[in-house]
A and B are shown apart, each in its own frame.
Chain A
């Protein structure tokens, strides 16, 4: 089954404790991205990757890191989480960045930073 898998689904942590949210897709997609969803703001892009080893900042990259060492995986790293990073996070993939393409979303990771 074609899917985007995120782990964990729920995470509670404390300020300053490094964490990683994993994302994996099995559709051989080139383009992957991370979003955060906050009430009244819709989804805002954090980082994206056009292909392996190529990543770039989205609209709200501060406090986040990513890497793309292999096509299927695109982990999101919070080196020193802060309470303002409490949010719902989604990973998405699509065949490429073509504007016609549908994005395929993971089920989301709900993060609380205390």
Chain B
């Protein structure tokens, strides 16, 4: 069985400050982990994925995530938020059995 928990339903930051979106997972296997972004009225778009290679994964638009097996975490970060980063973000865990989406974190960026 697997599960994924996004620890914050809503995160608000000021433009130019760091972003941290937290994700914890559980899986019986060595999972693949993904972050997707959903802008208003759009479908989900891949930000980055982890598939058991380097534990620090770089994605699009300056985002990155670090896989920490000991903490079962895959937190998403960005050094400096931009107004265009305002969106909903989903953490996804995938293994041999299944794929699960987190409940989502809505990121608000204040000017």
Interface residues of A (CB under 8 A from B): 4, 35, 40-45, 90, 92, 99-100, 102-103, 105-108
**How many inter-chain residue pairs (CB < 8 Å) link A and B?**
46
B103 interface neighbour in A40, A92, A103, Cβ under 8 Å: A40
Q: Find the A residue at minimum CB distance from B32.
A: A99
Per-residue interface assignment for chain B, residues 33 to 63, with 1 indicating a CB less than 8 Å from any chain A CB and 0 otherwise: 0101000011111100101000000000000
Query: Would you call A100 and B32 a contact (CB within 8 A)?
Result: yes
Query: Would you call B94 and A99 a contact (CB within 8 A)?
Result: yes
Residues of B within 8 A of A43 (CB): 44, 90, 101
Residues of B within 8 A of A102 (CB): 34, 46, 49
B contacts with A, residue count (CB < 8 A): 23
A105 interface neighbour in B31, B43, B103, Cβ under 8 Å: B43
Nearest-neighbour CB distance to chain B for A98, whole angstroms, equals 9
Nearest-neighbour CB distance to chain A for B42, whole angstroms, equals 6
Per-residue interface assignment for chain B, residues 98 to 110, with 1 indicating a CB less than 8 Å from any chain A CB and 0 otherwise: 0101111000000
Nearest-neighbour CB distance to chain A for B51, whole angstroms, equals 5
